[in-house]
Structure 1
Amino acid sequence: MSSAAVVPEHPWLLPGTLTRPTTTVRRTPRDWFVDGLCFLLALGWAVLAFHDSVGPEPEFAVNVGPSWLNEIDLVLGVSVSAALWLRRRWPVALAVASLPLALFSVNAGVALLILLFTVLVHRPLPIGAALVGVHLLTTPIYTMIRPDPVLPFWATMAWTLLFIGAVVAWALFVRARRQLVWSLRERADRAEAEQQLRVAQARQLERTRIAREMHDVLAHRISLLSLHAGALEFRPDAPAEEVAKAAGVIRASAHAALQDLREVIGVLRAEPGGAETATPERPQPTLGDVPALVAESRAAGVRVGVVDAVADAAAVPPAVGRSVYRIVQEGLTNARKHAPGALVSIQLAGRPGDGLAVEIRNPWPVGEPAAPVIPGTGTGLVGVAERVSLAGGRLEHGRDATGDFRLAAWLPWPAS
């Protein structure tokens, strides 16, 4: 399966290529104006030069020579002027085909300069330089065939070289300006694309962050759900009040878990949109929500002891308080999963400038658990470690010297 070569829209941006666009680009109103102006200038010069050659004072004419040559020169000049309408498509071909006229034609002089200008602007520099060199070589021959009636040979040569040099300088200026404009436009397009990429990456990171938050919440709620369901399974003869209470907790936990799951799926499926279409994010937990979290676990039958030695809980930064909440939540979830029935102790301590320390400890389980183990993804502690690391803190977890499982973290709390 063959594929067509990609041709740049502006080949003059690539000095080493001779490839031209294979598709015809429609002229803009500005192009029509410029092409019409070039045609009128070239045609006007051809008519003016022929008129001077047959005027009452031919000794002052710029078109000196036999009458038959002047008539042929007029036809050639008008023909090359008309061919300027094709210069955008075949500039090099027209410039090469009209090169012989540079030896003797006065009427085609302006048209030849316009073709030379077009090649220098729109085609690779080596081609333009070659055409300029050929024009310079034809200058002495032209001056001998068409001598000026007033100026000497070297003066005529100097004026001709001056005109060619002015056209070359103007063409190089236009070329450099177009390259600069195209480079700035390409840089702006690249910057816009990079900005869109950064926005997309930031949106994806935000979705990932929210998904991790929801993972912590879901793991906590589902562990509570499993704990109550396990109690009902192993105590079918429990009093009706306890069964109703446990069923109510199961229903509430299932409803909350379903709501959290719906939110995380909505976040992951949401398409990029404006701020007016985005749903507001629910308030994030802080250090003040830890007692409610502990009360929820106690209601599920978990024995939890809390020692709160935080100097000024209201002054804890929201980001630090949210991290402490997630650490306590993960510690309680792990205790319910791996050490059901064990006493969980939580210690909070800290002050501004010293940082905030949190420690969750529970006895290491002995033997196999009687109830089925609550399944988990095994990434909870990994997420907590990443959270603490991003906050600039430290995290330790594992079995300590006393045989208990210990989850401890320290988070920076700058002094106000």
Structure 2
Amino acid sequence: MKIGIDKIGFYTPHLYVDMKKLAVAREIEPEKFTIGIGQEKMALAPLTQDAVTLAANAALNILDEKDKEKIDLVIFGTESGIDHSKAAAIYVHHLLGLRSEARAFEIKQACYGATAGIQMAKGHIALNPESKVLVLGSDISRYGLNTSGEATQGAGAVALVISAEPSILAFEEQSAYVTADIMDFWRPIYSEAAFVDGKFSNEQYIQFFATAWAQYKAKTNLALKDFEAICFHLPYTKMGLKALKPVLLEEGSAADQERLLANYQVSTGYNRVVGNIYTGSLYLSLLSLLEQQEDLADGERIGLFSYGSGAVGEFFTGILQPGFRSHLNVVQHMDLLSSRAEVSVAEYEAIFQQTLPIDGTTVELDNTNDPAEIYLAGMTNNMRQYINKQTEDSIYS
């Protein structure tokens, strides 16, 4: 029985910052952002969007009634959770109108969370072949204004329906994974912004990929020649390249290098104009490859490297399924990205510093300029109120 990605959806807020203009405002050479780390735009979440709404909007347009009847497990990977107790998956489950006979929970391990969810989903489908699992990776990346990590912020979510006999990508059985207790990136519960040791984190990312790749080769006897493309978790678009290049130079033929580097570049397309979305980043890279690379063919093998600081890394693979292109939402995603509005650096700074009350104060948020179907409407008695415009339904935490 094949198990894999049956559907995939993506959502990002309607606002963005131009990285060249941000660089000028920070008195930095623009090329350090656009070329050095490979970022052109940075998605910005207004106060009416949080990890819950981003995930719900990502899933909203890919689910039909048959999916809703078969989904009996919702797994929400995030490091931007809104509650220390109640899982973000519960809110999404309700906002999407999923059936009550379901499990729903939140999972955390930095940017690895959605991948952990996928591995759990595979086990669930193996035991329950008629079921489907909704896996969500949703985050708002925050390091703070005028910080070293500011240029690698972003906001967005990816939603994946995992099922038997998938329409897009079937996962292969073998994977390779590694865990080590390191402090390269973390966010204590008292902090709204993350802390990062950038140089150390880059080194660990590269080392984890090398280790996982070596383990994978030993398990499978596969080599670079067996892959059409390898997608990476991308905190910024140059990061995956730093890990891939040493392996290509040591093991790859000229043809391998040309093919994998070209496809890597395509896979960074969406990330380049959205920024870092933590748990969804790898799958946004995969989505960019699938929707923007016209030369991909049914039956080709795609490698996926997931990395979550702290740290866990995993390398796994999938095979493109017959007719996979007909199950993508290329026009919808391109319209989403092209319809966004640019904000000035001053406007970005003002929006970035807006926060919800933490003392129980009632607040109603103005969503007039937010085109999202699902949004955060406000807070009452320490409860967030979410609204789905399609149903005019609302819920409180």
TM-score (norm 2): 0.23
Q: Comparing both structures, which one devotes a greater share of its residues to helix?
A: 1
Tell which structure's C-alpha radius of gyration is larger: 1
Structure number with the higher strand fraction is 2
Considering Cα pairs closer than 8 Å and 6+ residues apart, tell me whether 1 or 2 has the greater RCO.
Answer: 2
TM-score where L is the length of structure 1: 0.22
